Amino acid sequence: MTDLLGEMRRTHNCGELRATDAGKEVVLMGWVQRRRDHGGVIFIDFRDRGGITQIVFNPEHSPASHEKAQVIRSEYVLGVRGKVLLRPDDMLNDKMDTGAIEIMVDELKIFSHAETPVFPVEDRVEASESIRLKHRHLDLRRPQLQKNIMARHTASQAIREYLNDLGFLDIETPFLTKSTPEGARDYLVPSRVSQGNFYALPQSPQLFKQMLMISGFERYYQIVRCFRDEDLRADRQPEFTQIDMELSFVGEDDIMEITEGLIKTVFKKVRDIDVNTPFDRITYAEAMERFGLDRPDLRFGMELCNVSDIVKDTGFKVFASVVKNGGMVKAINAKGCINFSRKEIDSLTDFAAIYRAKGLAWIKVKEDGWQSPIAKFFTQEEKDVLAKRIDMETGDLIFFVADTPQITNEALGQLRNELARRLDLIDSNTYRFVWVTHFPLLEYDEMEKRYQALHHPFTAPLEEDLDKLDTDPLNVRSRAYDMVLNGTEIGGGSIRIHSQELQEKVLKTLGISEEEAHEKFGFLLDALASGTPPHGGLAFGFDRLAMLLCQEESIRDVIAFPKTQKASCLLTDAPSQAGVAQLQELAIKVVKIEE
Amino acid sequence: MTDLLGEMRRTHNCGELRATDAGKEVVLMGWVQRRRDHGGVIFIDFRDRGGITQIVFNPEHSPASHEKAQVIRSEYVLGVRGKVLLRPDDMLNDKMDTGAIEIMVDELKIFSHAETPVFPVEDRVEASESIRLKHRHLDLRRPQLQKNIMARHTASQAIREYLNDLGFLDIETPFLTKSTPEGARDYLVPSRVSQGNFYALPQSPQLFKQMLMISGFERYYQIVRCFRDEDLRADRQPEFTQIDMELSFVGEDDIMEITEGLIKTVFKKVRDIDVNTPFDRITYAEAMERFGLDRPDLRFGMELCNVSDIVKDTGFKVFASVVKNGGMVKAINAKGCINFSRKEIDSLTDFAAIYRAKGLAWIKVKEDGWQSPIAKFFTQEEKDVLAKRIDMETGDLIFFVADTPQITNEALGQLRNELARRLDLIDSNTYRFVWVTHFPLLEYDEMEKRYQALHHPFTAPLEEDLDKLDTDPLNVRSRAYDMVLNGTEIGGGSIRIHSQELQEKVLKTLGISEEEAHEKFGFLLDALASGTPPHGGLAFGFDRLAMLLCQEESIRDVIAFPKTQKASCLLTDAPSQAGVAQLQELAIKVVKIEE
């Protein structure tokens, strides 16, 4: 067959030729990164997935190729046959892997012309993110994105290899499925065959993976797309990828050991970083007490300090009344930060306000006593007790939040992270993992006036808390666990309920009627009664894990074709209008609010 | 943490213990396949993913376990600790892998009771397929389905390993995307954020994988779910899995070599079958001429024989007029089938009628001449010429179809396959691969009165046929190729158009206006102009490949949670009604036809 390639076939990539290859005849194929003309000779930085090599068109060596090369511009696609030459000593380039050689071209094929790119294909790009997303085919040519996508590939293959070796089976679950109760909004897919009915895209394969355990597959995994129609935050996508696992005949320890091994393997393969295992474990209660957040960043100290008991009877009514009304007063000690300006303190107060803290009290600990708007409200004895509890030393700056336990913890927990960033306390090359365990099984939804599952309704309660399900549901702890890395949750899971009776009881506690339970989860309840092994699992957010592995700030930089925060694809212009005929077949009609 | 498992952890699976393990203390966990009571002793066939082992509760050995075991019934889930004993000689079971041993139980944990299963968990199942699908968690416990799902896992991992080693990158493409022109109907997903607009679920990642080539990733693959909202045939699912590949800087030979290697690897790993490569190749024209179908089954002969030139001037007007009107007369020779009854011939005529053949002429070749309703229309000379062309010998039965080329080929091609089945000509252990190449680029759609792409609009025409695009479009051959196994297409692909000008020209030939082209494929056309490498690819239907690997008749037997031919999931009861509030958020309304 005749085609553009003819008999030409690539022998090497553009990143692998070295001085030791001198003299070889090679064929390279790739893109023009840059063209320079010098003394009648054309020099081209020639790029492919593997790297960059200099190729040379010399009119004295090959007049025909040189002539043909005249038209070449940036991003043209070429195939060249030539000889590897050592560069002259004064032309060596230590910064390039291939800087010791160049290719003297004998034969040139121009596969494709290229218009001038909208932005240059370089890591330092000035173009806005929306321009980059619109021209994603150019954006993806940039070395950093190429590296990210390749690292993501390496990560997913390392994960598969690790799990395969442990006897996990990669089993595919449906995408056109039934609405599941993950708490978020489903994407719906109208059915044409069964008009008026809808599929839901899965928020996770939760119920299917439990069915697979009930079916006896024992160890399941999948690297699988999931969907949530939520308003998007910076690090969320409407479709995201989950490393999803489930195991039978295991408890928490087994799952933690296996998933720690998985993380260790991935960090080694992708980044050559040795992660120490086993990871620390901390209960939810302890995490909240010490760090205010259920995803504590353990790379630095500055722990929260509960002073409610001390301040509850002091003359500072703001603190005292908060405690008396069931609230909480906590402090953190910004060691040595006495020189923070009023402006800096105000900016931190604004920061705490994002998390609904109504104010931020502070104390500067000076040689000669406290400098603080609130100092006057405390007796010396109270001051001494506080100073001891908070470990105050001269030069320290103390912050307090007094509010509901929830707001106090969150505002001060976030403030702790923010202070660490501002004070540069964080070593970005440290990877600090921790398991957070014993989450509450339920939380109370004030809006809907009912209990909600904190994890999901299939999470098992701790056996020793089972009797509190009736009497004190909010204090039932669950067998859920999250894996937290540097303050970010990267995975979470639980031991599941494997008894039909307990599952029915939990659903009832959640205020789900028997009828609703059977309509939504009847198949699970039936299956639970058919012989169910003890089982549990975990899911990692793969986009976020890849982002952390690549040291990127945005998950969009580790996804080939991401969506914007408005859930649109700027490259293809999705979503877009559907044809009238098609909507008719689906028996649906668009009825916008203005109609 | 306390839980049901306690300190008990599995040491072996139920398929791996042998006589050499005698004396070991082991822990097994699994399901009760069958219980027998014999002389006060309870014997249980104990099953897990790995196989079956006999476990024994002997009241003299462990009264407590024996007592606890009284309640055990089929499908209960247990954990047992016990000792491996050699079975007495008269109890050995050669049919079981573990038939030389049994486990004398010391400790029993009952993890789960089980209701009597709706159908027994055995390969020979009487239950209808819809009962099986409704109780898929039981169905999936059957050894054959367990084996299929595990074989599918083995296949997908073998494929990944093979492609990874060749430098292919597993890159994820979007599911919430734009309607693509694959020819089939899209599943739509209404957007909440952008009311009135819709995403489409991908029929294939075709355009994204081409964008990845334009982005310079050079070798891409994905094992990925795709969606087509078509009326379903027996071997189709609304969601199906594709092994999707694309490569840059290659021609047909490169892609064929790599994918042949992939198939060779998978058959070896999953079935220990050695597939010979390279595969034969046959052009579309030759396949149609010799076999009537573009997916010929080469495991047997009985090729089609074109006799149009012979019959066009004979006295048999039915044949002659068909040829004169542009039709075609072809025959197949069912060697030695002279004894077919009238009833058998009628049933074959009915079979041919499914493929729109209006009749099936036949000739029985006897010692003393033809026995045939049409014999009288032919002169002896014509008979001799026909006999020679069709290789008639005494004892043969010849069938003819005379119709349009399309109907003649299809009806006779299908008849050839049917005859081979009835005559048992096919060795089911033979795997006969063939490439079909040089498909027509276009076909004419009589309904829509315009050309359609036979493959898809991005398939490259053969370079030597380019000039016919304007003058004789139906005779332009494409650079598409299908991989056919035993008469089934298992994969197909093409070299793609990599020039913007040619792509625009082909879209124009397809009757797509410039405006429509830019609305639908503008991003591809733009990208093609930004420096595009020559590229091409292929996609395998993974469900079908898995089915052939598992020697199953239905793809539903290699999919964990398949849908029915009405595209519903009987297990979860999807699709189902959506909430009013949710539809309001999406700004859509159900308007059934009767309203």
Whether B393 is in a domain gets the answer yes
Give the pLDDT confidence of A373-400 residue by residue, as tens digits.
999 999 999 999 999 999 999 999 999 9
> Count of domains in chain B?
3
Interface touch B198/A577, C-beta < 8 Å: yes
Residue A125 has pLDDT above 90, yes or no: no
Angle at alpha carbon of residue A146, lines to A143 and A149, rounded to 5° = 150
Q: Which of B249, B530, B576 has the CB atom closest to A10's CB atom? A: B249
Distance from CA of B366 to the nearest CA of A (A): 48
Q: In the predicted model, is pLDDT for residue B1 greater than 70?
A: no
Give the CATH number for residue B96: 2.40.50.140
Work out the average pLDDT over A284-298. 97
Residue at A451 is within a domain: no
Residues on chain A touching B187 (C-beta within 8 angstroms)? 176, 189
Q: Do A177 and B578 touch (CB under 8 A)?
A: no
φ, ψ at B481 (rounded to 5°)? -150, 145
Same domain, A158 and A254: yes
Q: Is A496 annotated as a binding residue?
A: yes
> A187, A244, A518: which to substitute to probe chain B, counting the most B Cβ within 10 Å?
A187
Per residue in B142-156, pLDDT (tens digit) is 999 999 999 999 999
Domain boundary at B408, B426, B444, which? B426
Using N-to-C axis directions, what is the helix angle for B143-165 and A143-165, rounded to 10°? 140
Chain B residues with CB-CB distance to A585 below 8 A: 185
Q: State mean pLDDT over B82-103.
A: 95
For residues B144 and B445, the model is more confident at B144
Tell me, yes or no, if A592 comes closer than 8 A to chain B by beta carbon.
yes
Tens of pLDDT, residues A540-583: 999 999 999 999 999 999 999 999 999 999 999 999 999 888 89
Do B383 and B317 lie in one domain? The reply is yes
Check if B104 contacts A (Cβ < 8 Å): no
How far is residue A180's CA from residue A537's CA, in Å, rounded to a whole number?
A: 17
pLDDT for residue A2:
52
Q: Is B367 on the interface with A (CB under 8 A)?
A: no
* Domain endpoint, select from A376, A407, A426: A426
Are A472 and A532 members of one domain?
Answer: yes
> CB–CB of B571 and A150 under 8 A?
no
Average pLDDT, chain A: 94
A331 and A244 assigned to the same domain = no
Backbone angles phi, psi at A541, to 5 degrees: -80, 110
What is the rounded (10 degree) CA torsion for A407, A412, A413, A415?
130
> Could you count the other beta carbons within 10 Å of the beta carbon of residue B123?
11
Tell whether A138 is within 8 A of chain B (Cβ).
yes
Q: Tell me, yes or no, whether A127 lies in a domain.
A: no
What average pLDDT does the segment A322-338 reach? 95
| Residue B311 sits in the same domain as residue B259 | no
3-state secondary structure (DSSP) of residue A173: coil
CB B504 within 8 A of CB B516: no
Q: Which of B112, B134, B169 is the last residue of a domain?
A: B112
What is the pLDDT, as a whole number, of residue A1? Answer: 44
Residue B447 pLDDT grade (very low, low, confident, very high; cuts 50, 70, 90): confident
Which of B9, B247, B590, B594 is the best mutation test for A, with the most CBs of A within 10 A? B590
Q: What is the mean pLDDT of residues A479-507?
A: 96
The complex's ipTM works out to: 0.95
- With respect to residue A280, please indicate whether it lies within any of the assigned structural domains: no
Q: Are residues A419 and A467 located together in one domain of the fold?
A: no
Question: Residues of A numbered 172-211 whose beta carbons fall under 8 angstroms of chain B's beta carbons: which are they?
Answer: 172-179, 185-201, 207-208, 211
- Same domain for A76 and A173, yes or no, is no
Same domain, A107 and A150: no
**All residues at 6 or more sequence positions from A9 whose CB lies less than 8 Å from its CB, including other chains:** A27, B249, B254
Number of H helices, E strands in chain B: 17, 23
Residues B178 and B254 in one domain: yes
Flag whether B274 is in a domain. no
Q: Quick check: B463 contacting A, CB < 8 Å?
A: yes
**Chain B contact set for A138 (CB, 8 A):** 215, 530
Check CB contact of B46 with chain A, cutoff 8 Å.
Answer: no
Beta-carbon neighbour count of residue A338 at 10 Å? 16
* B52 contact A CB<8A: no
Among the partner residues B3, B251, B523, nearest to A572 by beta-carbon distance: B523
In whole angstroms, give the CA distance from residue A46 to residue A30.
6
Which residues of B are less than 8 Å from A177 in CB distance? Answer: 569, 572, 574
Contacting residues of A for B590, CB less than 8 Å apart: 195-196, 587-589
User: What is the span of the domain harbouring residue B52?
Assistant: 19-112
Same domain, A151 and A247: yes
B41 exposed, middle or buried (CB, 10 Å; 0-12, 13-18, 19+)?
A: middle
Residue of B nearest to A583 (CA): B188
- Residue B420 belongs to a domain with what CATH number? 3.30.1360.30
Chain B CB contacts of A172 under 8 Å are 225, 241, 559-560
Evaluate whether residue B396 is within a structural domain.
yes
Whether A1 sits inside 8 A of B149 (CB atoms) is no
Q: Does residue B366 form part of some domain? A: yes
User: Which range is least confidently modeled, A2-11, A38-47, A134-143, A303-312?
Assistant: A2-11
Contacts of A153 in chain B (CB under 8 A): 169-171
Q: What is the tens place of the pLDDT at every residue in A149-190? A: 999 999 999 999 999 999 999 999 999 999 765 578 999 999
Closest chain A residue by Cα to residue B542: A172
Based on the fold, state whether residues B400 and B477 are members of the same structural domain. Answer: no
Helix, strand, or coil (residue B545): helix
Distance from CA of A263 to the nearest CA of B (A): 19
Verify whether the Cβ–Cβ distance A590 to B195 is below 8 Å: yes
Percent of chain B with pLDDT over 70: 98
Q: What is the mean pLDDT of residues B560-575?
A: 95
Residue A593, pLDDT score: 62
- Summarised one tens digit per residue, pLDDT across range A211-251 is 999 999 999 999 999 999 988 776 789 999 999 999 999 99
pLDDT tens digits for B308-365?
999 998 889 999 999 999 999 999 999 999 999 999 999 999 999 999 999 999 999 9
Nearest-CA distance B102 → chain A (Å): 21
pLDDT of residue B595: 44
Residue A514 assigned to a binding site: no
Q: Is residue A593 within 8 Å of B195, Cβ to Cβ?
A: yes
A456 is in an annotated binding site: no
Strands (E), A154-301: 169-170, 188-190, 198-200, 219-227, 239-248, 280-283
Digit-coded pLDDT (tens) for A15-67? 999 999 999 999 999 999 999 999 999 999 999 999 999 999 999 999 999 99
Average pLDDT, chain B: 94
Confidence check: pLDDT of B181 > 70: no
User: pLDDT tens digit string along A404-413?
Assistant: 999 999 999 9
For residue A282, being part of any structural domain is answered with no
B530 touches chain A (CB under 8 A): yes
CATH number for the domain harbouring residue A228: 3.30.930.10
Q: Please report residues of A whose CB lies closer than 8 A to that of B592.
A: 195-196, 587
Q: Do B98 and B171 share a domain, yes or no? A: no
User: Do A523 and B572 make contact, defined as CB atoms within 8 angstroms?
Assistant: yes
